[in-house]
Amino acid sequence: DAGITQSPRHKVTETGTPVTLRCHQTENHRYMYWYRQDPGHGLRLIHYSYGVKDTDKGEVSDGYSVSRSKTEDFLLTLESATSSQTSVYFCATQGVSRGSGSDQYFGAGTRLSVL
């Protein structure tokens, strides 16, 4: 398994507070992703990074920001948490390979509850 650590694993917070989730990888993978998982929706891409300081928006980026100052760390920030952001958040990483490409590896997830 790829060395992906998400922290915290569980968090309960109040509406309007800022929240930062961390994803740390030890695989030196170039690409990193943040997804949210909600019942019936599968996983939806929030933001992704294709290198240090290089990020882009995914399908459901409103209300979220990201930063990647080092290869190994990808932070997801909810500037002002809302109840609609209650979800399970997954980080994924992906290396670069020639030909048919490389796989995405997923962390164990962070369960966030916004009250």
Q: Which is nearer to another protein, 40 or 53 (CB)?
A: 40
CB of 55 to another protein, least distance (A): 13
Give the chain's end-to-end CA distance (angstroms, integer).
34
- Environment class of 91 (CB within 10 Å of its CB; exposed 0-12, middle 13-18, buried 19+): buried
Q: Does 53 bind another protein (CB under 8 A)?
A: no
- Environment class of 57 (CB within 10 Å of its CB; exposed 0-12, middle 13-18, buried 19+): middle
Out of 16, 28, 51, 59, name the contact with another protein by CB under 8 A. 59
Residues engaged in binding another protein (CB under 8 A)? 4, 31, 40-45, 48, 58-59, 90, 92, 94-104, 106-109
